[in-house]
Chain A
Amino acid sequence: AQTVTQSQPEMSVQEAETVTLSCTYDTSESDYYLFWYKQPPSRQMILVIRQEAYKQQNATENRFSVNFQKAAKSFSLKISDSQLGDAAMYFCAYRSGTGTASKLTFGTGTRLQVTL
């Protein structure tokens, strides 16, 4: 079974600074997807960024980027130029299979605080 581990329960960053959230995972599969989701107080999970395991290039979405180390099974999220609206719970998630096997396995989350 796949597992996802987030070892940082809480992180804090000053506005406009950069912060990195860590995630490791365990799997025996070679083809899979990794995700970072943001969950603000509104509770809705919002997809931040996605990485396909077969792609060597790290994914980037505006101020968000990942450092994907497949051999080390590490998938960290870097948030640049942090904004107050970035404050939320961040979850790392793993997905394997296709179609109907596309369940998500989540980590326990990292609460990000953004200070002035």
Chain B
Amino acid sequence: DAGVTQSPTHLIKTRGQQVTLRCSPKSGHDTVSWYQQALGQGPQFIFQYYEEEERQRGNFPDRFSGHQFPNYSSELNVNALLLGDSALYLCASSLVGITMNTEAFFGQGTRLTVV
């Protein structure tokens, strides 16, 4: 059973560029959440997708956007990259609607470096 997979694993971009990160959830999961983890910090919630809609959003600017596809996979897009966007981006999947007791499974993340 494949867990949560993210691509690419590493990425280097220039300031002002745009980037797309991809996530495939664990088999059977229908909800994808994205987190940004700056160096030496805990992950910060960016947003969550369920039924192809953004359901909840953290304190991130509109430069951060996303999408969920019918197969539950998701993309995170960041426009007009800033040096401060350099971080590890984590994707987590879970199953909605059964009980509160659904744990989130994380991928290995995408390390984004903006130069």
Contacts and interface: CB of A to CB of B under 8 A. Distances in A.
B97 A103 contact: no
Interface stretch (A63-71, A75-83, A105-113): A105-113
A37 B90 CA distance: 13
Interface residues of B, number: 32
29 contacts: A31-B100, A33-B100, A42-B108, A43-B88, A43-B109, A43-B111, A44-B106, A44-B108, A45-B43, A45-B92, A47-B104, A52-B100, A91-B43, A98-B100, A100-B48, A100-B50, A100-B55, A101-B56, A102-B33, A102-B96, A103-B33, A103-B45, A103-B48, A103-B56, A104-B92, A106-B43, A108-B42, A109-B40, A109-B42
Interface of B: 31, 33, 35, 40-45, 48, 50, 55-56, 58, 88, 90, 92, 94, 96-97, 99-109, 111
Interface of A: 4, 31, 33, 35, 37, 42-47, 50, 52, 91, 93, 97-109
